[in-house]
Structure formats: structure tokens, C-alpha cells
């Protein structure tokens, strides 16, 4: 679970050093139970998420969190989207 802006920046910097310039993959978090209420896999509330701009914008259809080089976003977590990687 990403808990600070500094952690988000560190992940984004790492992605850039690896040449990854697109939205990359799932980080712990879902709002599947209640839209807009994000919780970690452990069940604890996520107090920091780091959304920017228009995110989250998926309503009930996008219930997982992804990190990219510029933002944190919600995405479809059905295993069929283009974001099938997990960041640990």
C-alpha cells in the first residue's frame, strides 16, 4: 500500500529508470465494496491515495488502483485490462 506522496514519487522514479512510461500496474487498494471508499487488501482504510486531475473516474466499473509515471488512477481489475502487473 502506498501511504505517502514521497512513496508515490519513488515508485514513479523507479518506473522511469526502467524505461516504463505508461500506466504500469496494480498497487494495493480497492473500492469494490463501496464506491469511493478505498481499502487495502488487509481491510484497513487507505488514508492516502494520491489521485490527481480527473481520477478517480471509473465509478463502479474501475475498482483497483494503478500507478503510472504521472499519476495514480483507478482501473478495471478484471484481469483483462492492459494493467495486469502488480507492484510490490
pLDDT of 25-72, one tens digit each? 778 889 999 999 999 989 999 989 888 889 999 888 899 888 887 888
> What nine digits make up the cell of 68?
503510472
Q: Tell me if residue 67 falls in helix, strand or coil.
A: strand
Each domain of the chain, given as residue ranges in start order, spans 5-86
Task: Decide: 37 and 46 in contact? Cβ < 8 Å.
Answer: no
pLDDT for the residue numbered 1: 80
pTM higher than 0.85: no
Higher-pLDDT residue of 78, 54: 54
pLDDT for the residue numbered 66: 85
Task: Decide: 66 and 72 in contact? Cβ < 8 Å.
Answer: yes
Q: Does domain 5-86 have CATH number 3.10.100.10?
A: yes
What is the rounded distance in angstroms from the CA atom of residue 83 to the CA atom of residue 45?
23
pLDDT exceeds 60 at position 83: no
Average pLDDT of 4-26?
Answer: 83
Amino acid at each position: 500500500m502506498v501511504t505517502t506522496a514521497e512513496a508515490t514519487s519513488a515508485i514513479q522514479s523507479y518506473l522511469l529508470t526502467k524505461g516504463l512510461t505508461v500506466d504500469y500496474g496494480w498497487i494495493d487498494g480497492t473500492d469494490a465494496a463501496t464506491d469511493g471508499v478505498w481499502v487495502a487488501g488487509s481491510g484497513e482504510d487507505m488514508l492516502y491515495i494520491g489521485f490527481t486531475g480527473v481520477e478517480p473516474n471509473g465509478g463502479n466499473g474501475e475498482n483497483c488502483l494503478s500507478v503510472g509515471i504521472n499519476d495514480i488512477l483507478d482501473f478495471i481489475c478484471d484481469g483483462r485490462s492492459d494493467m495486469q502487473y502488480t507492484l510490490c
